[in-house]
Amino acid sequence: MSAPTVARVEGIPFRLPLTSALAWGAHSALSAAEHVLVRVTLSDGTVGQAEATPRPTIYGETTASVLGILTHLEAGLRGLAITDEVSLNRVRNSVVNNHTARGALDMALHDARARAQGVTLFDTLLGPSTRVRPSFILGIAPPEEMLAEARRVVTAGVRCLKVKVGREHERDLRVIRELRAEFGPDVLLYADSNETLTPQSAPAALDAMREAGLMYVEEPLPARNLRARAELHAQGRLPVVADDSCFTPADLDRELDFDTFDVLNVKTARNGFTDGLSMLRRAAAAGKRGMVGSQASTGLGTIHAALLSTQAEVTEPCELSFVLKLQDDLLNAPIAFRDGWLDVTSMRELRVDEAKLSQYRLS
């Protein structure tokens, strides 16, 4: 019996409100999750789906561009066997950039392939580390608001905070010290500078972060400053997480050549499963640690990020609790965090609720 083929690719835009805005970097902010549900329908009626997270200030993608690239790629994908991964990836990668559109399409194809075989992604992708430590992205806000949000998510079961910094160094350090004083060693802390430091200011800033008890800092310098980033990493002041500098496998090869980081942050939202797995394995082979980010994904994207987080190459806390920033979600039940951990197998029965999708979809 021949494998079913791709019959349709579609995108359904939706909007979920946040409990409060998420601010990061020098100017960026997010006030709602305006994402796209990507669906791949096969010739036998099987449906695979994933979440695309357009981020204009990071990848240059918008909801309209994601929908446009899905339409563009559908013509080449239609009629291909869902088991023909080489051909499917050739079409998917026939365009450059468009990271979240191509990443979501990759995950939707994986989902459809598993379902066509009578199984799920939990059967095909679940790794050995089924209990994962989630982190929460604590955006830039007035210090009292950041502390209040930290208390809320710690109460909800999260024990690791990724603190956005970079707009005012002294204020950042004050917030970090207040977080450390309130939660003590039970809550892990690290910073995300989003490329806001300079080669001149970074050494002292990293020293201060280390003294404040942070585990590592993500992208302290602009990605374009390759030599400066390599020199800063060589100083060994504080472990560095690579994110904005490692969008693609080719980026990762460059960063490994120049030895610019200690921990690789792979994001299913931009890398999908195919590139995400290969990048984690490539980094691990080079002696680097691994983590998974979710690009402020809602529930469906969190499930997919969590599955990648169970791989043996993932050694660090992963960004799996952005759902706590949502007023509502598309899933049929909430994701539960307990005592600093997420049991990924507990998510097996979660699915997109069609009534909620109808409620929150955009025309």
Contact 167/195 with Cβ under 8 angstroms? no
Active centre residues (catalytic): 164, 192, 218, 243, 267, 295
Q: Which two tokens stand for residue 51?
A: 């979440």
Burial class (CB in 10 A: 0-12, 13-18, 19+), 268: buried
List the strands of the sheet with 263-267, edge to edge: 289-293, 263-267, 240-242, 217-218, 188-192, 160-164, 134-138, 318-319
Q: Report the distance separating Cα 110 and Cα 227, nearest Å.
A: 38
- Tell me, rounded to whole angstroms, the distance of Cα 322 from its chain centroid: 10
Q: How far is residue 111's CA from residue 106's CA, in Å, rounded to a whole number? A: 9
Measured in Å, how far apart are the chain's first and last C-alpha atoms? 39
Give one DSSP letter per residue of 204-244, joined into a string.
HHHHHHHHTT-S-EE--S-TT-HHHHHHHHHTTSS-EEEST
Token pair of 297 as six digits: 């994904």
Q: How far are the Cα atoms of 50, 197, 201, 240 from residue 80, in angstroms, in the given order? A: 19, 47, 52, 41
What does the alpha-carbon distance between residue 7 and residue 43 come to, in Å, rounded to a whole number? 5
For 11, 72, 141, 175, the CA distances from 101, given in Å and listed in that order, are 10, 11, 30, 36
Q: Coil, strand or helix: which one is 189?
A: strand
Q: For residue 161, which of 340, 16, 298 has the smallest C-alpha distance?
A: 340
Beta-strand ranges (E) seen in the chain are 6-24, 28-42, 47-52, 131-132, 134-138, 160-164, 188-192, 217-218, 240-242, 263-267, 289-293, 318-319, 342-343
